[in-house]
Amino acid sequence: MKILILGGTRFLGRHLTTSALEHNHEVTLFNRGNYEPPSGVESIIGDRKRDLAQLKHRHWDVVIDTSGHLPRDVNATAKALADSVELYIFISSQSVYSDVSEVGVAENAPVKTLAQEQLAHAESLDSSSNSSAVNYGQLYGGLKALCEQVAEEAMPGRVLNIRPGLIVGPDDYSDRFTYWVVRVNRGGELLAPAPADRPIQFIDVRDLADWIVGMSEAKQSGIYNANGLPDRVTMKMFLEECSLASSSKVLFTWVSEKFLIDEQVGAWSELPLWLPVDIAPQLKGFMFIDTSKAVAKGLVFRPLQATVQDTLAWYMANHSDLSGDLNAGLNANREQLLLEKWRGESPTSSTTPITS
């Protein structure tokens, strides 16, 4: 099978490329050439905003769009490839859902919409930015929903929209999962967000990539949530697994949600995987997205242990300074100050010593 990947050199795109090659498919990448492509693939250097003509007069069985954020770009790409590919796979996001206040959100739930003024604002941000990664903020989910719609309009019945949750594992440059793996490995007293038994949900990038390649082989279309099984992993289970993968001694100090909110700790940024649902009930179901439809189509999950161990091994092999700040998570000084204040306010606070 011939597969065209828009992107293909970073994180999910790179793992999609690896998985496709392992399944003996022929892979072509189309990207701006900012990162070294994996070996064994054809690489076409170009910008989807102005260089789609480079893809004309070619044929692929499937295109996987990992880099579409604006509806106008996805619309142009899908129309340009409508006669060149049989299936258009768009990597969307579970952020498209307009209401995640209840658990079990499925693919038929309503999605976000944007006013014309909001769409114009997003396009102006993109046009005025010199960065390869534009932060669309609160517009992100609505933009992804519109991207899904324009792809389907351009290629009706031939689009597979994938809505992942938090994608984690080796090569993750966001560090939203990696922070915890690395921080536990550093040892010492660690600030952990209570309650310890609160479920968290994410998906290993390799499980996602393998499943997407399998769906492309089967020429599946439609809409699928792609995330870990809901209500299967808690924060405590995750941190304990991080400890087992480490050679360090660590003490988990579980800090109340009220304290974290009062101290203006950034949810999802300073404390990845933490969502303060007590004050944001509209997010109650964000970690409980229904993935049964994808599981019925063959989505499987490797053990949490493998994801943690492989992420730590990747990070240690690719970072010379293992004590430096990551792209997400508390820095060491901020964490220490918060722990000291927490102990002063809660002298009987819960701590969990774990050694490995």
In a domain, 280, yes or no: yes
In a domain, 65, yes or no: yes
Residues 183 and 45 in one domain: no
Which distant-in-sequence residues (6+ apart) come within 8 Å of 74 by Cβ? 65, 68, 90, 147, 150, 151
343-356 average pLDDT score: 60
Percent of the chain with pLDDT over 90: 86
Q: Which letter, b or e, does each residue of 215-245 get, where b requires 16 or more Cβ atoms within 10 Å of its Cβ?
A: bbeeeebebbbbbbbbeebebbebbbbbbeb
Residues 274 and 154 in one domain: no
Supply the pLDDT for residue 131: 54
Which amino acid belongs to residue 71?
P
In a domain, 67, yes or no: yes
Which structural domain range is residue 123 located in?
1-164
From CA 283, how far away is CA 167, in angstroms rounded? 18
In angstroms, the first-to-last Cα distance of the chain is 46
**What are 16-74's pLDDT values in tens digits?**
999 999 999 999 999 999 999 888 899 999 999 999 999 989 999 999 999 999 999 99
Whether residue 311 contacts residue 178, with contact meaning beta carbons closer than 8 Å, is answered with: yes
Supply the pLDDT for residue 185: 96
Residue among 228, 244, 343 nearest 286 (CA)? 228
In a domain, 290, yes or no: no
Strand partners for 253: 191, 351
Query: How many separate domains does the chain show?
Result: 2
Residue at token pair 């498919």: 25
Residues 10 and 129 in one domain: yes
CATH number, position 36: 3.40.50.720
Q: What global pTM score does this model have?
A: 0.94
Supply the pLDDT for residue 355: 40
Residues 241 and 345 in one domain: yes
176-186 average pLDDT score: 97
* Displacement of CA 355 from its chain's centroid (Å): 30
In a domain, 157, yes or no: yes
Which tokens in the block code for residue 89? Answer: 């796979």
Supply the pLDDT for residue 345: 80
Position 128 pLDDT exceeds 80: no
Residues 67 and 176 in one domain: no
Which tokens in the block code for residue 193? Answer: 């967000």
- Consecutive H or E run containing 293: helix 292-296
Strand partners for 89: 64, 160
- Three-state DSSP at 47 gives coil
Three-state SS string over 213-250 comes to HHHHHCCCCEEEEECCCCCCEEHHHHHHHHHHCCCCEE
Position 350 pLDDT exceeds 60: no
Residues 76 and 173 in one domain: no
Residues 188 and 121 in one domain: no
From CA 134, how far away is CA 70, in angstroms rounded? 11
Q: Across all residues in the chain, what is the average pLDDT?
A: 94
**What are 264-276's pLDDT values in tens digits?**
999 999 999 999 9
The C-alpha R_g of the chain, in whole angstroms, comes to 21
**What are 275-324's pLDDT values in tens digits?**
998 888 999 999 999 999 999 999 999 999 999 999 999 999 999 888 88
Alpha carbon of 340 to those of 183, 265, 306, 333, 346: distances in Å?
Answer: 18, 15, 34, 11, 10
Residues 243 and 111 in one domain: no
Residues 103 and 57 in one domain: yes
Residues 61 and 117 in one domain: yes
Q: Which of 164, 192, 211 is the last residue of a domain?
A: 164
Composition of the chain by helix, strand, coil, percent to 5: 40, 20, 40
In a domain, 37, yes or no: yes
In a domain, 130, yes or no: yes
Position 356 pLDDT exceeds 50: no
